[in-house]
Chains A and B, each alone.
Chain A
């Protein structure tokens, strides 16, 4: 046996999984962890960190951010307590709103929606997945067929329709995304439930005379959650992307809420004309955040699988 393993190892250059443990993915995982933590902090206190009022325009309209060379000097001034009347780190948009403040305040909308939607779909999806893996055959079949049907819907367009027709609000976006993401968790949980049900502790619980429902809920489900929890990190990132996309086309959050997608949409025309800052910074925020969640989820997956 071990000989065969060694032989296979010689041919392929070692177990591929062992070879994943490289500095690069580890760096990515840490970066992801940092981004996830930062986004959570901003979700909680972002609006309070904003130096300017996120809803009240200032006099300076379309003011560019300070030149890169001037930034260190300005930072020193801020630290030493010397106040400038109007530092707009990321400039101001065409109605005079401070871009930096709004980028900081936006996670209160974007991240709350993304996390909320994933919590709802994770709970719903794992319960339904348990039913799909351990329930009676007709129930399991029904759950899986419905889940297939929901997955056959085009995600973005369905999101647009449901959010717009149900009234554009954070709650409807959360519920819509939850509906769209539930099948992912149903599938993951079901697959894991099917594996876990073969394990010895299930037989042991059954031998102790526990009911099937109690075994499923108390023993199988907690052991079948890991893949879904890992997936949640990636899916939260995609939910941020979807929320911003919906708002960008006008089928998501209502203006003037500080929200990254809306801010990009508001600055789009100026971007074409050469004023890059109102759209650039919120876009960077989305880019970094979603990448961070993906890297974090991916790192978790590697650690879990290894």
Chain B
């Protein structure tokens, strides 16, 4: 088992290194001029050169890479966990991400749990009678939900639940702008507000998450239902289910046993989905003005803020790889044949 984890970790590390190098070179090969973007169109040649020098972009590309990685003497870099300094705000990318990431993780994780809780019973319902009315309807729903523009549904929900019904707060961030946020400990508003015993902020935070989570969870139910259904249909056709049925076990007991076996292979796909949504959180964060990593990514891309872009890609890829790995480990624990 530990060899399995070690091997996977090593592969993940190489993948991350490959990603860093690819992003680093891609940004310098593509015909974009970050210096011109920073100093503006009307800057003098001297100002341009000074800015270029200040950013270190006048150095040879290998020196830039060396100092980014932190292998040059006297430079702090990636190998020490230093993601560099934002060219626009001047503050450390790592600390900016530290504040942004929890917002996104909180949003995505709650949406995932909610989507999962909705999808598993629906997927099972389909699998118990494949081809039945419930199956056809749920199948059409999952195909529909899985192919929807999440940003448009967010706007639609805002129009209905904020504009018309007034149930939701205005889509302007994580908390009511007039209230004082709880002190930053973990960055997760729900956790921090509980730690500060600030129940007002806790409920306000959940209230602000209502629509973004509903939107994200709606879109997520599509692929998850499909996945649960497929695996359930496969498992219900297995010999041990037939045996259980022949032994006269109640259908609900059989379904329970089958579910456990159906969910194990589904874990891998959940991991892939989590990584995908983490990168795609941009859209929902833009619609609801949530200060998460997605908004940070858009801003840094539009500003040509290279260190920030590198940081975002690296952190998102690292989290995705870590989630795959963790789920593979869980999967291998459930099914020891895989680790062999």
Contacts and interface: CB of A to CB of B under 8 A. Distances in A.
A155 B149 contact: no
A21 to B, nearest CB: 8
Contacts of A251: 298, 301-302
Contacts of A166: 30-32
A109 to B, nearest CB: 15
B242 A268 contact: no
B15 A28 contact: no
Contact of B163 (A13, A25, A244, A272): A272
A154 B317 contact: yes
Nearest to B148: A287
A156 B280 contact: yes
Contacts of A25: 136, 139
A273 B282 CA distance: 22
Contacts of B286: 248-249
A28 B143 contact: yes
A28 to B, nearest CB: 6
Contact of B147 (A156, A264, A293): A293
A279 B155 contact: yes
Contacts of B135: 22
B48 interface: no
Interface in A253-286: 261, 264, 268, 271-274, 276, 279-280, 283, 286
Nearest to B237: A12
A250 interface: yes
A294 B152 contact: no
B40 interface: no
A160 interface: yes
B27 A165 contact: yes
B283 A245 contact: yes
Contact of B155 (A23, A162, A268): A268
Dominant secondary structure of chain B at its interface with chain A:
helix
B118 to A, nearest CB: 19
Contacts of B163: 271-274
B143 A152 contact: no
B146 interface: yes
A116 interface: no
Contacts of B30: 162, 165-166
B137 A154 contact: no
B27 A161 contact: yes
Contacts of B137: 24
A286 B152 contact: yes
A233 B103 CA distance: 35
Interface in B31-76: 31-32
A158 interface: yes
A222 to B, nearest CB: 29
Interface stretch (B107-115, B174-182, B271-279): B271-279
Interface string A1-30: 000000010011100100110111100100
Contact of B158 (A28, A241, A272, A293): A272
A149 B22 contact: yes
Interface string B273-304: 00110111011001100000000011001101
B131 interface: yes
B282 A160 contact: yes
B136 A22 contact: yes
A291 B148 contact: yes
Nearest to A19: B131
B116 interface: no
A154 B278 contact: yes
A296 to B, nearest CB: 11
B159 A274 contact: yes
A55 interface: no
A294 B159 CA distance: 27
Given A19-B131, A24-B137, A157-B282, A294 B301 contact: no
Interface string A140-183: 00000000110011111110111011110000000000000000
25 contacts: A8-B237, A12-B237, A16-B234, A19-B130, A153-B313, A154-B317, A156-B279, A157-B279, A157-B282, A157-B312, A158-B279, A158-B313, A160-B297, A161-B301, A162-B26, A245-B150, A249-B283, A264-B151, A271-B163, A274-B159, A280-B156, A283-B149, A283-B155, A294-B143, A298-B143
Interface of B: 15, 18-19, 22-23, 26-27, 30-32, 129-131, 135-137, 139-140, 143-144, 146-152, 155-156, 158-159, 162-164, 170-171, 233-234, 236-237, 241-242, 245-246, 275-276, 278-280, 282-283, 286-287, 297-298, 301-302, 304, 309, 312-313, 316-317, 320-321
Given A165-B32, A237-B147, 8 more contacts: A22-B136, A24-B139, A155-B276, A156-B279, A160-B301, A245-B150, A264-B152, A290-B149
Closest A-B pairs by Cβ, 3 of them = A154-B279, A24-B136, A283-B152
